[in-house]
């Protein structure tokens, strides 16, 4: 098993650092074919946490971990924002014309679609989203 973790802040400038970290993990483990999907779901989660997770304007630490075990890539994302279960998010209406669609929900939809499994738990006042991708 190979794993790594990173702690970032709830600041949009951290997207670059998160993407770089995920890319380095993928490069080091021969997962270049999966880098885009992994980076996309991590960036979507971070963006949602920043936009909707906090009301206090304070700095918060967000932890991400990725691990490769056998043919499974697992990403765990933890934050201390307000409780948010991605499975309970309002689903976007993808059949409406773009001009009439309401904003929001597409990022969570992408995460749920891209990953093979997405599990959520609220543990000790923290959100823990665990996502897996079968890479064969």
pTM, rounded to two decimals: 0.88
Domain count, the chain: 1
Residue 123: strand pairing partners: 126
How far apart are the C-alpha atoms of 89 and 129, rounded to whole Å?
14
Mean pLDDT across the chain: 91
Which pLDDT does position 95 carry in this prediction? 58
Identify the DSSP state of 126: E
SS (H, E, C) 33-89: HHHHHHHHHHHHHHHHHHHHCCCCCCCCEEEEEEEEECCEEEEEEEECCCCCCHHHC
Which pLDDT does position 57 carry in this prediction? 92
Which pLDDT does position 104 carry in this prediction? 53
**pLDDT tens digits, one per residue of 26-47:** 999 999 999 999 999 999 999 9
Percent of the chain at pLDDT above 90? 80
- Rounded to an integer, the average pLDDT of 2-27 is 97
- Rounded to an integer, the average pLDDT of 74-92 is 90
Instruction: Say if residue 131's pLDDT is above 90.
Output: yes
CB 131 within 8 A of CB 115: yes
The CATH number of the domain holding residue 29 is 3.30.565.10
Domain that holds residue 87: 2-134
**pLDDT tens digits, one per residue of 87-120:** 897 775 555 565 554 555 567 888 999 999 999 9
How far apart are the C-alpha atoms of 86 and 45, rounded to whole Å?
10
């Amino acid at each position: 098993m190979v794993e790594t973790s990173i702690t970032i802040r709830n600041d949009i400038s951290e997207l670059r650092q998160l993407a770089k970290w995920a890319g380095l993990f993928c490069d080091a483990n021969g997962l270049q074919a999966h880098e885009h999907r992994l980076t996309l779901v991590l960036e979507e989660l971070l963006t949602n946490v920043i936009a909707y997770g906090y009301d206090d304007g304070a700095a918060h630490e967000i932890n991400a971990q990725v691990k490769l075990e056998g043919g499974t890539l697992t990403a765990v994302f933890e934050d201390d924002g307000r409780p948010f279960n991605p499975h309970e998010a309002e689903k976007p209406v993808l059949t409406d014309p773009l001009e009439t669609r309401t904003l929001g929900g597409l990022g969570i939809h992408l995460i749920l679609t891209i990953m093979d499994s997405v599990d959520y738990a609220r543990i000790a006042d923290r959100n823990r989203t665990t996502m897996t991708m079968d890479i064969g």
